[in-house]
């Protein structure tokens, strides 16, 4: 379990705090969606929840972060890396820059953890299979498209088999198929007990994926509850968050005799099935 209590954070060299009194809890096997307008603090929250702020980038954190019962404040960055990983949306920065092939790129994480070769290879193969990257295993990571790079970046994190995964807009560069793929991979992870925090604009993705949704605005948590409840809230749009198509259409058709359940059922199944 990963828990933030009363977290307020200020970047190094800045006077103002950008997160205010944030409480956030990720239970094992939970997928929590994080929504909010840009510049509301989603990325900062991801950094703080991973412990990297302040462990790696400095700054001042008030409040506590506890990971699996251990206070993060006392952990070195590589100790944090063994417990929680955080991925960002820019595939260029997620790339190590030293791997000759996609396989190596994904293998770097487990290798850095000092694992024996067989274990590294097994974890790498598993992560590659999860994200269906087999066709491009031998390719040069520098020569991939934005979408492929993003998938490789996610695989590289999953190969470390962390207990907690935090992803900041993991599907930003992906086409609908890639987005679905990531959703399936994350769902499978949660099924194995991993806890996930996923910051996304694509509320359609979160709609089918998350158990809980947290909304942040101006550095404060303004909503925290069951996914369906939060995403169906008509006030979501005022927060700068696009409601999922399912919620929007249900509302539009509500007065016209179309059952919300029918809308939900259509959203859940694939076209033509």
Q: Which is nearer to another protein, 25 or 248 (CB)?
A: 248
Q: Which is nearer to another protein, 150 or 190 (CB)?
A: 150
Give SS3 for 29.
coil
Cα 253–257–260 angle (5° rounding)?
Answer: 60
Q: Shortest gap between Cβ of 236 and another protein (angstroms)?
A: 9
Strand order in the sheet with 212-217: 84-87, 164-168, 195-199, 31-35, 212-217, 220-226
Q: Report whether 215 contacts 241 (CB < 8 A).
A: yes
Q: Shortest gap between Cβ of 71 and another protein (angstroms)?
A: 19
Q: Shortest gap between Cβ of 94 and another protein (angstroms)?
A: 5
Give SS3 for 217.
strand
Q: Shortest gap between Cβ of 6 and another protein (angstroms)?
A: 24
Q: Which is nearer to another protein, 6 or 16 (CB)?
A: 16
Q: Which is nearer to another protein, 179 or 195 (CB)?
A: 179
DSSP state of 161: -
Q: Which is nearer to another protein, 31 or 166 (CB)?
A: 166
How buried is 262 (Cβ within 10 angstroms: 0-12 exposed, 13-18 middle, 19+ buried)?
exposed
Q: Shortest gap between Cβ of 253 and another protein (angstroms)?
A: 6
């Amino acid at each position: 379990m990963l828990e933030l209590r009363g977290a307020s954070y200020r970047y190094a060299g800045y006077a103002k705090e950008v997160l205010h009194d944030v409480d956030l809890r990720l239970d094992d096997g939970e997928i929590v969606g994080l929504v909010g307008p840009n510049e509301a603090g989603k990325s900062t929250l991801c950094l703080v929840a991973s412990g990297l702020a302040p462990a790696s980038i400095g700054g001042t954190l008030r409040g506590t972060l506890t990971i699996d019962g251990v206070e993060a404040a006392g952990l070195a960055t590589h100790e944090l890396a063994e417990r929680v990983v955080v991925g960002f949306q820019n595939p260029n920065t997620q790339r190590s820059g030293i791997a000759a092939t996609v396989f190596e790129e994904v293998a770097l994480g487990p290798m850095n953890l000092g694992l024996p070769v067989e274990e590294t290879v097994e974890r790498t193969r598993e992560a590659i299979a999860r994200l269906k990257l087999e066709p491009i295993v031998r390719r040069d990571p520098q020569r991939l498209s934005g979408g492929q790079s993003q998938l490789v970046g996610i695989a590289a994190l999953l190969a470390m088999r962390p207990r907690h995964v935090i992803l900041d807009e993991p599907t930003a560069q992906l086409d609908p198929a890639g987005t679905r793929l990531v959703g399936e991979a994350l769902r499978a992870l949660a099924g194995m007990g991993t806890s996930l925090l996923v910051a996304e604009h694509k509320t359609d993705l979160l709609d089918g994926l998350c158990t809980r949704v947290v909304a942040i605005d101006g550095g404060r948590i303004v909503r925290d509850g069951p996914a369906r409840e939060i995403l169906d809230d008509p006030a979501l749009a005022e927060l700068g968050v696009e409601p999922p198509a399912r919620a929007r259409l249900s509302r539009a058709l509500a007065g016209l005799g179309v059952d919300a359940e029918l809308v939900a059922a259509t959203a859940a199944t694939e076209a033509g099935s």
